[in-house]
Amino acid sequence: MVFNWNKANVPPEDYTLPVLCQTYNGKLLVFKDTMTYLGGKVENKCSHWDHLSEKYNIRYWVYQKELIQEEDEV
């Protein structure tokens, strides 16, 4: 399987999907999504990537779905 890491300065387009991230310290993190609710309101969903990438010192990321193969693909 081959996949490409995305640099942290390029945010995920679909903030509802899970992502795997690599920090500058070489640690791996998984986020179930990268969204937030502005004002705590469900109808105000948006990306929270800038905050996450800065807080966790993220270097690279990839969508989780790019790493997990479905059974029929094996």
pLDDT digits 0-9 by tens, 3-33: 899 999 999 999 999 999 999 999 999 999 9
Instruction: Report the pLDDT averaged over residues 41-60.
Output: 84
**Is residue 34 a contact partner of residue 48, using CB atoms and an 8 Å limit?**
yes
pLDDT at 35 over 90: no
**What is the distance, to the nearest Å, from the Cα of residue 69 to the centroid of all Cα atoms in its chain?**
18
Question: pTM of the full predicted structure?
Answer: 0.82
More confident residue, 51 or 73: 51
Is it the case that residue 34 has pLDDT exceeding 80?
yes
